[in-house]
Structure 1
Amino acid sequence: MAKWGKGDPRWIVEERADATNVNNWHWTERDVTGWSSDKLKKLLLGVQVEGEAGNCQVTEVNKLVGEASINNRKGKLIYFYEWVIKASWLGTSNSGIKYKGNIEVANFSDENDMDDLDISVSLCKDQPNTSLLHLMKKDGVQKVQTALESYVTHLKSVFTQGMMLPAANGASQSQPSKTQSQIKVNKTQISATVSATAPHVVFSSTEGVRIPTCCFTLKENFLTSAEELYRTFTSQEFVQVFTHSPAVVEGHSGGKFRLLDGTVTGEFTELVPDEKLVMRWRFKTWPSEHYAIISLVLKEHGDETNLKMDCKGVPVGEEERTREGWRRYYFEAIKQTFGYGAQLN
């Protein structure tokens, strides 16, 4: 319970006339049903597939019943959505014959994984059998699932900043909006000062060029489980949310990743679920094919998870830029976006 006059950071009504929900301590909710309905229709109507027998496309969303909302509690965003969807598709054979069919999605909600979605495809009752039905059941279902995944990604990225309310000092917990040029400058113009105590070694790139490198260690605490934190680093959906930009993340050993408009690329070399991530990681400005080796070890203690990062093979002159890049664009961004930051007493 926030205490009046005791310096509790959750209560600053005596300092602010508007009694703002400081530090997002109280439950706030935003209804995004209308936006979701429009977004889902647009994405579904864009579904088209083509095969040897002809082509098919979604022509109408006949039924879209449900709701969606975003909730904020103690700075942590929670997304709720539940939809029943019915749509019509039109197939055209190579000979020009038209076929009509239906698509139904009965269990599209935040409680179900995308792989568990029940997407059924059928022909209308008066339609003769056609190989286009097989095309829709195979490729069409995949395209519908991709459209629904895109909706979830947009939901979490578009409304993330709007739900992060001002903190006690009046500053918003979300990152301020920036122009594209400002974002590019911030990503590339980070101080390149080298720590005088950094141990230097020699590392060979795959092209045989030997360059001096260094290593460093970082430690961070996150107010979340090791499972959630691990998923934040390995799920493309989550990475796109906290980086506020498109990303490619293949969350398996040997999987590639590409973040921040290609500024960062690499490959996961070892993944131990909820415990450890090892990756080959590089800035695109580094010497060609040169990668640092980064290890993230997660240890859960009660309500928080301790992360230890060991980074080896960073080119000399790039240590500070790499260190601050990880702090700013990974650790701080994750804490601000998902509410995994410092806990209030």
Structure 2
Amino acid sequence: MAKWGEGDPRWIVEERPDATNVNNWHWTEKNAGPWSKDRLKELFSDLKIAQNGIVCSITEVEKVDGEASANNRKGKLIFFYEWDIKLKWEGVLAGGSEKIKGEIHIPNLSEENGVSEVDMTVTIKSNGDEAQRVKAFMHHVGREEIRKQLQEYIRSLKEEFSKGLILPKKGESSVKPDNVSTITSGFNKKINMNPIISPQTNKVGCKLDTKTIELSEKFQCRGQEFYDAMTRIEMVTAFTQGHVKLDPEKGGKFALFGGNVTGEFKELVPGKRIVQYWRYKQWPEQHYSEVTFNIEEKDDHTLVRLKQDLVPVAEVEKTRDNWQRYYFDSIKRAFGFGAFL
């Protein structure tokens, strides 16, 4: 294996005129947050919804909180977005005597859910028959029009904002459409890491026998890149292939694999070390292990040493296998960190 910058064409960029990302091999990212906020405001500003004598309109995009990014890995586009949106609206009945005002709350627009599954709450600020009729209209007709705008945002993100992330390969002047694959951050296939229920020999108040697991793995990446794969929500989402909750700071919580793995960050040293309190859902209630990742960047690879203390004896082999399968192997597949010559 060559040292960094020597020999491996996937790491040599001089052959490309722009000297960037040979064959789209590396993980590249484009922040879609500011663009998304502008696009969502554009789609909802002055949106009018009219039918059967009822006319409603969005009067203000009150809140757009969240984040979004478009990522390229080996010619595949991986999207991450999560938004909490509040809209103000008003409407009138044909011949009605009052202008009805209300709000719409969309708390969970994300790639985890299809637009048809997105929660949407419609509220009004007044009572009476007219108000209830207009609210019912917005609940049934208005929500569908709003879903169409959300779908348009997602289309724009994937087809317009992401232009330029996929670069032409050597010898090509442009990107061929059949060379681009668009997928969500979950890769459309969630990892099933549900616990297998087995008889528990340990009871509350009884001593729990535990052991320590120690593993080491080589990754074809920089130390910081492995660190990022474990602490950046869009990258963790990519390799776990499902919805992720992650707060990468000391004391921050995380939940992966549908909540089957949960814990808290105890120590974070960028590019060098990660320490977590970590538990698997099947373990005895409130029992946590302590996991330490020591990240050591070598001349031609990065060596990661994992030590996990306080693993229940009955779970040692399964836990060891899960680290290899659901973490190490998945990280290598998702980001190309496993290719050695």
User: TM-score by structure 1 length?
Assistant: 0.48
User: TM-score by structure 2 length?
Assistant: 0.48
